Structure 1
Amino acid sequence: MLQEPINRRSSHISAEHVRRCSINLGFTTLASLVLPLHSQPTLKNISKAALLQKSAEYIKWLQSERQHIQEEMEKVRSEITELNNTINEYQQQLPATGAPPARQHSSHLTDMFDDYVRSRTLQNWKFWVFSIMVRPLFDTYTETVCTASLEDFCRTVLLWLEKHCSLPIFRKRSVFREV
């Protein structure tokens, strides 16, 4: 009978030792997660109460960071939704051919045309007369031709040529027909 209390006591001591080792391992792991690496004191230099306090502060900071990130994500989601709506509005304004609206598309080409006419007119004033005759043709080109893809470009250029550049049409448009 004396043997039984000794075995019980021995197994209790062993279980307590395992429990303390487990707790100490937990505190060591907690210290490695919470305390900065460059100033990480050993677990012996910091009390377990102080370690628990620092852990609570760190958890509060993480929660605050998480909240800040969630708010930032919500702002970004809102911006994405707003941008998608704007994109959809612009896409609805595009014509079925895929060409940009004539005003936006032709303004750059018109500016380039005007610059070219100015520079050529400085070289030879007769070019200005020619530009007056060509301007209506140029305007129909910028309104008709689609540059969304090479296929669209080829198709719309051919349509434009048939509609605006045939010989009978040029005869009708001739400014100096009866000279």
Structure 2
Amino acid sequence: MKQEREQNGELIRRKRMEVEQLNMDISTMQNKLPADGISELCPQQRANKLSHLFDEYIRERTLTNWKFYIFSLIVKSWLASYNDDVMTSSRQMMHSTIFKWVEQKCSLPILRNDVLTSLCNLSKSTSILTDPSILPQQVLMAVQEQPTD
């Protein structure tokens, strides 16, 4: 019985060491996970979700005021670069990457070019140059035709 008790004690000691090692492994893995959840793990899912939320917001606002759509065309070009460049793993990281993004992507020459490109695309896809009176209907049709999830 004494020998059996010693064997059981040794088994218990090994199992406790295994549990400690597993707890350390779990802790290590948890520390590697991003603070804000899955968004840093799956950037494409994050981009898709952001784009979907943006499109829904634009649809709602445009149905209230069709002119909002024109503004959205300008802003939409910034959405992908914002999503790619701004990190949300911590407040400090988000703060620093937002300021870096603003410095790099929001200078006046870049903004001018983005606005001009967006307005050129609007003039190609609508009748704003030939018959501006039907632009409101075209804009409303465009947001109503967008698929919703």
> Under a length normalisation based on structure 1, what TM-score does the superposition of the two structures give?
0.44
CA displacement 1:103-159 (0-9 Å, x = unmatched)? 122222222111100100100111112111110101111111111111000010011
Could you tell me which of 70, 81, 87 is aligned with 1:146? Answer: 87
- The corresponding residue for 1:109 is 50
Q: Pick one of 58, 64, 68 that aligns with 1:127.
A: 68
Give the structure 1 partner of residue 36 of structure 2: none
CA contact (8 A) 2:62 2:68 kept: yes
**Deviations 1:41-67 (Å, cap 9, x if unpaired)?**
xxxxxxxxxxxxxxxxxxxxxxxxxxx
Q: Which has the larger radius of gyration?
A: 1
Q: Which amino acid aligns with 2:105?
A: H
Q: Are residues 163 and 101 of structure 1, via their aligned partners in 2, closer, same or farther at CA, if it must alter by over 3 Å? A: farther
TM-score using structure 2 length? 0.51
Aligned to 1:113, the other structure's residue is in SS state helix
Query: Identical aligned pairs, as a percentage?
Result: 33
Q: Aligned pair in 2 of structure 1 residues 100, 155: CA closer, same or farther (>3 Å)?
A: farther
Residue type of the alignment partner of 1:143 = D
Task: Quote the residue 1:171 is aligned against.
Answer: 112
